[in-house]
Amino acid sequence: MNFSCSSTLAAIEEEYLSHLQFWREKLTEEIGAMIADEYEVFWAERKRRIETALLFLDSKPYSFYFMTSSLYPDFSSREHYPFLALGSYHILDTNLGPKIKTFSRVSAVDKGNFFAAIKEGLDHEIDILSNHGGLIWLLPLTESFGLEETTLREKSNEFFLSFFPGIEDTKEFFSKMKTMADVYRAVDPQKAPFISFAATGDPAESLEAKWTNYKSTIEGGLPPRLSEPVFFYSILAQAARAALNAVLVAYIPIK
Amino acid sequence: MDQPKNKPLLHRTSLKAHFRCRGVYVTPFNRLPNLYPVHWFQDWAPEYLWMGLIIRHLGRNEGMANCWVCLKKIREINGGVVRPEWSWILGLPEEIQKVFLAMVVHLCGVDSLSPLTCLYTLSKAPLFAQVFQTDHPLKNRIATIEETLKEMSDHQSPLSTDIRYIIVFCRCSGRQYSFEEGSPTFVALANYPKTDHQDPIMPFYATTIRSMETAMRTDKPINRAFVQTFWDDLYGLEDCHIATMKFKKENEGATEFIAKIEQGLDYYRELLTSKGPLNAKDQVLFGLATFGFKRCKEVVEHDLYNTVSGRSDIRGLIEVYLTMVDLLKKEDKHPSIYEDFQLYGLGQFKVVVAAARESKEDLDSSHVFYPFLEGIVNEYRDEEFLNVDFRYFENERIRDKFNDCGKIDLYSLKYNYDSSYEHALWGAVRESSLLECTDAGHQYHQVPDIGDVENLKSVWPDCREMMSSIMDVLASCYGAPVEAAVDQK
């Protein structure tokens, strides 16, 4: 992990926490729109710094980051929140933005409920940063979507394959990985802890244990026509694509 | 009488009018006591941007009048004290701020200052944010600020002068200053707001206003923290827009020229070596010309026309030419000048060889081939008999040599410029390696040209001219070569 990348993001997260606390303290229905405005300005002011820091993700050897499902992303409900793991750091989407921005458009009738939801959102993010600050970063990953599909597929495959040293492309992965035992053998043991599939998963668990637990939570079992390694790939590569789409489009200029 | 062809638009003090003191040319302004440059845009524009926004929003007359009415209101309720700086206004007691902000809304409308809400948000200026909050998209608000700052970035622009008029008027109305009725200053103050910027008398009024504002600024300290925060916040909100220059590759007839020069030098070589070994003079003059030719050829073969290295080559060519002319000029009075020139140069290499002998570093990967250097140093005489002269050759400054040879223009217009490149002086670094961002909100900062998107003006016309001059020198000594020719410009 690059030092300047992490220290930049860590500094931004500290600033974000203090702003969250300020907004939470001041929040009333009357000034909700102002908080929404400040939220937008806050991230806009830092966009260039974040952009620069995240650019490091694109350059090897730092680019082993991966979509995981630990903590908040909820695979069982099929809701794929963008979520990145960078070495031992995790980036979560602050989905407060889309909600907070609609504050002025909410009708008077719904205002009460909406106001409560914003408060809850602020509490939630304050809680994350207060308790996991330094390990989890909150960034507005879902600000915009729409990265060109081919690039997205190539990049997500590249990141997926970075977990499997010696495997050049997905074709080779599918031809060599006949069973999950092949996958467990081929995965880079240093990177395997960064893959997890459950909200309460233990990073120290083996990939085999994590996958077995995850399988047991799937209603109706695995899809019948897919081999397990292919399903494993589809879950993780898809998730990586969702996350990359958000991160790359929001912050990284497309080359 | 010949007039200079490159007269500047503004009056500029000639170098002759500078005061010379121990090698430094001091400008007349810098000799005046208590006079120093002030930065209207960087240091003061953040303070007066609010007035710029109002004037642009309402138009000149209404905007200026309403700015003054709002400031007058502060004076009324603040014990007769008012200042037009934004940081000062935001620091006023809440009740005064509220009255002022309400007045701005009443006279100028919420949209006049709403662009500032992207800088003065709820956490930074709660009262202001509450009054001027709108749902205008962030990018539109930033664009309005950028456009206004762009107009304010020139301290003499109509908008800047209008703002500076309000500042002056604010000070004068506070009875801090008084002017005799009918005096030019009084007339300018009275007539400025009623006069159109296109009016022929306006330059006189505008100059008076700007001078007064500058003079009044001397007793106002800059609020550095406020100004810095302003620029920092705005910097983050805008993306850079980089301006670049791309010069065309001027290399017409370069390959043919090189072939022609090569043919000419070949002719001289045959001519001179056929009569016996070269004497010191032939060696030196030919060696120099060949050295110059190599540099010229490198420009062509390696496409260095529009590069930094090209400038280094030009400097080398000028130096070759000057040395040849200088040696020829002095040869009558100093018969051994060619031998001395060789020994002087070898003495410089001796220093390097001696340093290499004492060095503890591994020198194998160095671009200097030390064993060969040692051979060269001892080529004409054993180095035990070779002095090292740390002064310029003949103890004569480069500039004086140019002067003596009647080539001072070559020194002033080209050699000096190229020397900046050779020594990595800031002028050269700025010109070649930094791009300018055109955003006023970024204070037109500079960005390193890592992608090499900008190039420099082609060196080829000068390169060709210098190489031709070198060939002219040879021709003056040995006659013009048959067939091969010195370029006929």
pLDDT for B113 equals 97
Closest CA to B117 of B107, B131, B103, B105: B131
pLDDT reading at A189 higher than 60 = yes
B81 touches chain A (CB under 8 A): no
Q: Is A41 on the interface with B (CB under 8 A)?
A: yes
Least confident of A74-78, B123-127, B157-161: A74-78
Task: With CB atoms and an 8 Å threshold, state whether A33 touches B133.
Answer: yes
Q: What is the pLDDT of residue B80?
A: 87
Contacts 24+ apart (CB under 8 A), A172-177: A173/A229, A173/A233, A174/A229, A174/A230, A174/A233, A177/A229
Return mean pLDDT, chain A: 71
Report pTM: 0.76
Give the C-alpha separation, A63 to A54, whole Å.
10
Residue B20's beta-bridge partner residues? B25
**One-letter amino acid for residue B95 of the chain:** E
Contact A31 B117 (CB under 8 A): no
As a whole number of angstroms, the distance between CA B303 and CA B288 comes to 23
For residue A199, the model assigns a pLDDT of 47
Q: pLDDT value at position A91?
A: 65
The stretch B30-49 carries a mean pLDDT of 90
pLDDT at A201: 55
Contact assignment for B123 to A19 by CB distance below 8 Å: yes
Of A23, A45, A104, the CB nearest to B236: A45
CB contact residues (below 8 A), chain A span 55-94, against chain B: none
Give the pLDDT score at A67.
38
pLDDT at site A134? 72
Angle ∠(B64,B67,B70) on CA atoms, nearest 5: 150
Q: Does the CB of B233 have a partner CB in chain A at under 8 Å? A: yes
Residues B326-342 have a mean pLDDT of 96
What are the structure tokens assigned to A16, written together? 């974000």
pLDDT band at A139 (very low <50, low <70, confident <90, very high): confident
Residue type at position B443: Q
CA angle B286, B290, B292 (to 5 degrees): 120
Q: Which of A37, A45, A48 sits opposite B233 (nearest CB)?
A: A45
State phi, psi for B480 to the nearest 5 degrees. -70, 135
Is the CB of B237 less than 8 angstroms away from the CB of A41?
yes
pLDDT of A255 higher than 50:
no
Per residue in A22-75, pLDDT tens?
999 988 877 888 888 888 889 888 877 776 676 554 443 333 333 333 333 333
Instruction: Tell me how far the alpha carbon of residue B464 is from its chain's centroid.
Output: 27
pLDDT at A244: 60
For the cut 90, the answer to whether the pLDDT of residue A132 exceeds it is no
Q: Measured between CB atoms, does B236 come within 8 Å of chain A?
A: yes
Share of chain B above pLDDT 90, in %: 77
- Does B114 touch chain A if contact means CB atoms closer than 8 Å? no
Q: What is the pLDDT of residue A48?
A: 76
Q: What pLDDT was estimated at residue A43?
A: 86
User: Would the ipTM clear 0.85, i.e. be above it?
Assistant: no
CA A110, A115, A119: angle at the middle one, nearest 5?
Answer: 155
Q: List, as one string, the DSSP characters of B129-151.
A: HHHH-----HHHHHHHHHHHHHH
The amino acid that residue B403 corresponds to is N
Cβ count near A182 (within 10 Å)? 14
A39, A45, A49, best to mutate vs chain B, most B CBs in 10 Å: A45
Q: What is the pLDDT of residue B278?
A: 82
Confidence of residue B409 (pLDDT cuts 50, 70, 90): very high
**Which residue would you say has higher pLDDT here, A109 or B331?**
B331
pLDDT band at A77 (very low <50, low <70, confident <90, very high): very low
The residue of chain B nearest to residue A35, with distances taken between CA atoms, is: B122
Residue B461 — very low, low, confident or very high, per pLDDT cuts 50/70/90? very high
The CA–CA distances, whole Å, from B200 to B64, B144, B160, B210, B466 equal 21, 30, 18, 17, 50
Q: In terms of C-beta distances under 8 Å and separation of at least 24 residues, what long-range contacts does A158-165 make, across chains too? A: A159/A63, A159/A64, A159/A65, A159/A66, A159/A240, A159/A244, A160/A66, A160/A233, A160/A236, A160/A237, A160/A240, A162/A63, A162/A64, A162/A188, A162/A191, A163/A64, A163/A66, A163/A187, A163/A188, A163/A191, A163/A192, A163/A195, A164/A188
CB within 8 Å: A34 and B239: no
Share of chain B above pLDDT 70, in %: 96
Question: B337-358 and B280-301 are packed helices; what angle lies between their axes, rounded to 10 degrees?
Answer: 60
d(CA B236, CA B119): 10
Please answer whether residues B137 and A38 qualify as being in contact, where contact means their C-beta atoms are separated by less than 8 angstroms.
Answer: no
Query: Which tens digit of pLDDT belongs to each residue from B276-310?
Result: 788 899 999 999 999 999 999 999 999 999 999 99
The per-residue pLDDT for range B68-120, each reduced to its tens digit, is 999 999 999 998 889 999 999 999 999 999 999 999 999 999 999 999 999 99
User: What is residue B87's predicted lDDT score, i.e. its pLDDT?
Assistant: 96
**Chain A: closest CA distance from residue B62 (Å):** 29
**Residue, of B155 and B177, whose pLDDT is higher:** B155
Q: How does the average pLDDT of chain B come out, rounded?
A: 92
Q: Measuring CA to CA, which residue among B144, B73, B148, B59 is closest to residue B106?
A: B73
Rounded Cα–Cα distance for residues A38 and B32 (Å): 48
- Using CA atoms, how far apart are residues A48 and B235, in angstroms rounded to an integer? 9
pLDDT, residue A70, reads: 32
CB burial of residue B65 (10 Å; 0-12, 13-18, 19+):
middle
Residues paired with residue B26 on neighbouring β-strands, in sequence order: B19
pLDDT at A224 over 90: no
Residue A208 in contact with partner chain B when CB distance is under 8 A: no
Q: Which chain A positions have a beta carbon within 8 Å of B122's beta carbon?
A: 23, 26, 31, 34-35, 37-38
Mutation for B interface: A37, A51, A106, A143, most B CBs within 10 A: A37
Contacts of residue B116 in chain A, CB cutoff 8 Å? none
DSSP codes, B267-283: HHHHHHHTTSS--HHHH
Please judge whether B122 and A49 are an interchain contact, meaning their C-beta atoms are less than 8 angstroms apart. no
Q: Give CA–CA dist A111/A108, Å, rounded.
A: 5
pLDDT at A241 over 80: no
